[in-house]
Amino acid sequence: MKLDRLLGITMALMTKKRVTAAELATRFEVSIRTIYRDVELINQAGIPVASFTGADGGFELMDGFFLTKQFFSIDDFSVIYHVLMNMDGALGGQLTTLTNKVGSLHPALLKGGINPKILFDLSCAEREKAVISPLFQAVHQTRVVEFSYTNGSGEVSERQVEPSQLCWAYGVWYLEGYCLLRRSKRTFRISRISQLQVSEQTFQPRKELPNSSPTANQGMKVHLRFDLHAQPRALEQFQDEYIHQGTHIDVHTVFYSKEYALSIILSFGSKVEIISPDSLRQDLIKLTDEIRGIYCNRPKEDET
């Protein structure tokens, strides 16, 4: 979008003394002619951009200019402030100073005088908060972390990781980094990390983190068929992966863990059928037989 590009160019000018049209054209994947037109629009908006020719030419903001709060509405600040405030709770106060700086630009935010139009929930359990806060510091200080990790199958392994970033996705916190045990980029769910230790060992951030083996990333292609009674949940769970067939819903998706696939399928009970692969059907039959065996073989308690 042009608006996104104009904002991006403005931010680039604010963070660099001088930037060339060729740099901006490459960054935003447009022609140099388009960049010149964009810069002219930015000038017309009241942001003074000076143009310089020659070997060291380019664009830069005129001396003495800075972006003030007049360029942001109170609603803009409200969104930024409440995102930071919610994230600060999960990070254990690491962003308090930044949150207060944003709030001070419009004191009504600090006083609670602005009701947010969008509500954010970036919270986490207290146990997870005890992990996220030191991980945030480890990312900032580029320190190697050590921890025990429990995968989806319940297997525990000891890991040494060069942490690169914390991620919050679909209501869950994750750590991304280079695993020294697996020698590849890995993503760890925060709730499965225990006995975390931040070591004194530092590391140089890797320019490109290699992914795990291609085989591990291929996943398992699954075809599921849902009863219409499961429609609301199925459409939420498998957005953009479903086909409404009138009498039922077909879903073609990919699972990267057999255990996770079975847990999702079981949660739909009798309202879903595995069409393929047959190996997953057999795994589900085996699992349901094991569950059935627990209850069928359990001795009845004496009535009192």
Given a cut of 60, is residue 67 above it in pLDDT? no
Nearest alpha carbon to residue 234 among 179, 272, 185: 272
Q: Residue 217's pLDDT is what?
A: 47
Non-local (6+) Cβ contacts of 77 within 8 A are 69, 102, 105, 106, 109
Q: Residue 247's pLDDT is what?
A: 94
Distance CA 288, CA 297 (A): 14
Nearest alpha carbon to residue 158 among 126, 130, 182, 134: 182
Beta bridge partners of 160: 146
Given a cut of 60, is residue 222 above it in pLDDT? yes
What is the phi-psi region of residue 142: left when phi exceeds 0, alpha when psi lies from -120 to 50, beta otherwise? left
Question: What's the CATH architecture for 126-215?
Answer: Roll (2.30)
Among 28-42, 86-100, 221-235, the range scoring the smallest mean pLDDT is: 86-100
- Distance set, CA 44 to CA 5, 10, 40, 47, 155 (Å): 15, 13, 6, 7, 61
Among 81-85, 108-112, 185-189, the range scoring the smallest mean pLDDT is: 108-112
Of 238 and 119, more confident: 238
pLDDT tens digits for range 11-61: 778 767 788 888 888 888 888 888 888 888 888 877 788 888 877 788 888
Identity of the highest mean pLDDT range in 99-103, 158-162, 206-210:
158-162
Q: Residue 37's pLDDT is what?
A: 87
Question: Global pTM?
Answer: 0.51
Given a cut of 50, is residue 226 above it in pLDDT? yes
Mean of the pLDDT values across residues 194-215? 76
User: Which CATH entry fits the domain spanning 2-67: 3.30.2270.10, 3.30.465.10, 1.10.10.10, 3.40.630.10?
Assistant: 1.10.10.10
Given a cut of 70, is residue 174 above it in pLDDT? yes
The pLDDT-based confidence of 63 (bands split at 50, 70, 90) is low
Distance CA 222, CA 75 (A): 43
Given a cut of 50, is residue 216 above it in pLDDT? no
Contact 275, 223 (CB under 8 A): yes
Of 38 and 144, more confident: 144
Angle at 247 between CA 246 and CA 251, to 5 degrees: 80
The pLDDT-based confidence of 142 (bands split at 50, 70, 90) is very high
Given a cut of 80, is residue 154 above it in pLDDT? no
Q: Mean pLDDT, the chain, as a whole number? A: 81
Given a cut of 90, is residue 84 above it in pLDDT? no
Instruction: List the domain boundaries for the chain.
Output: 2-67, 70-110, 126-215, 219-296
Q: Which two tokens stand for residue 94?
A: 């690491």
Among 87-96, 167-176, 178-187, 278-287, the range scoring the smallest mean pLDDT is: 87-96
